[in-house]
Amino acid sequence: MNFKDIDLVQEPNSKSSLRLWIRLLKSSRIIENKLRDKLRREFSTTMPRFDVMAALFRFEKGLKMNELSKLLMVSNGNVTGIVDRLVKDGLIVRMSVAGDRRAFEVRLTKKGHQEFSHQAQQHEAWVDEMLASFCEKDSEELLQKLDGLISALSDPSLEVKK
Amino acid sequence: MNFKDIDLVQEPNSKSSLRLWIRLLKSSRIIENKLRDKLRREFSTTMPRFDVMAALFRFEKGLKMNELSKLLMVSNGNVTGIVDRLVKDGLIVRMSVAGDRRAFEVRLTKKGHQEFSHQAQQHEAWVDEMLASFCEKDSEELLQKLDGLISALSDPSLEVKK
DNA sequence: CATATATAGTTTAAGCCTAAAGCAAAAACC
DNA sequence: GGTTTTTGCTTTAGGCTTAAACTATATATG
């Protein structure tokens, strides 16, 4: 992908909601694409793997599969596959939960913890490099606006009718 | 997916760049998930299909495969598959380009145009419904900040080193 | 002109992702 | 206690996505 051509994209004169959504999608796609590229080149890993490990890094005691899937906002079955591969690579482990023979706790292994610590540091540096110039100016405001957006989106009273 | 549980997600105290990126990703995931759901339920279609048709709707004269992939910021091979399926469904056509036997122009068929017009109207209404309450307040500012972000991201001088 | 390089697009392998169906265990109900 | 419903997770089928390899055509270069 060549990111120099992105400015070919020009939005039509639509309502502000739609324009907002298109910008939102575009900015996160740009960042996502760059990060994916870096993760692959530098660490031979992917965003979904990184995301799972990040969640487990934060919740040291471990997470159940369904907690993981809620946290990452992806489907249940999706998590199964990613976790399978991380287990195969010795980066995480499934542990049975006392009192519930259906459930698993997933945790980082020592190797996984080490590997992720290193990756996370670089990852943060990349994000910083990408956003630094923007963040000097007015990141705090954008941050707050996005928070407002997120809570508006999560407000059940506004839930799009099922 | 149950969107009522999204507020379980709480970010750690990290640098503002990282926090900004996480929020950005989260807000677009919420919207993306809701729209995917609606598109599937109402029109039995997907976001990638919708995106391709939207691009072709805007560029009535048609687009070449590589133009499409730049516009949508996805890989070349990805577009091939989506276009294949849309062609099979009679919604778009591949037309040969005079003077270049490698290239194709892709265009909406009459059926595709009709179908998309209808979908686009609903799509805009959904986005509006989701974002309306937020947009009344301060969408214009957020819009401009995202534009600033996008141009900062697209600035080659800041390009993350290959 | 002949060769080299670049461009347009497809194919492939592997992973990501969803919805829906399925399985087993737990919880609720009667 | 026995039945029903719910919950936790996996499997499946099908589509999405990428990077890399590949084919064919076009362009540049000597």
Higher-pLDDT residue of B19 and A74 is A74
Q: Which domains does chain A have, with CATH numbers?
A: 15-158 (1.10.10.10)
Given an 8 Å threshold on Cβ–Cβ distance, is B135 in contact with A34? no
Higher-pLDDT residue of A157 and B95 is B95
Residue nearest to nucleotide C12 (CA to C1'): B77
Cβ-based contacts of B33 with chain A (< 8 Å): 73
Residue B86 CA to residue A91 CA, distance in Å, equals 40
> What residues form DSSP beta bridges with A106?
A63, A94
| Distance (Å) of CA B152 to CA A135, A139, B76, B147, B160 | 10, 12, 25, 8, 12
A109 touches strand C (CB under 7 A): no
Mean pLDDT confidence for A100-124: 96
pLDDT tens, B40-84?
999 999 999 999 999 999 999 999 999 999 999 999 999 999 999
Cβ-based contacts of B160 with chain A (< 8 Å): 34, 38, 126, 129-130
Given an 8 Å threshold on Cβ–Cβ distance, is A158 in contact with B129? yes
User: Is the pLDDT reported for residue B2 higher than 70?
Assistant: no
pLDDT tens, B43-53?
999 999 999 99
What percentage of chain A exceeds 70 in pLDDT? 84
For testing contact with chain B, the best of A14, A50, A160, A162 (most B CBs within 10 A):
A160
* Å between A89 CA and nearest CA of chain B: 26
Which value, in Å, is the radius of gyration of the alpha carbons in chain A? Answer: 19
* Å between B104 CA and nearest CA of chain A: 19
Cβ-based contacts of A19 with chain B (< 8 Å): 143
User: Is the pLDDT reported for residue A159 higher than 60?
Assistant: no
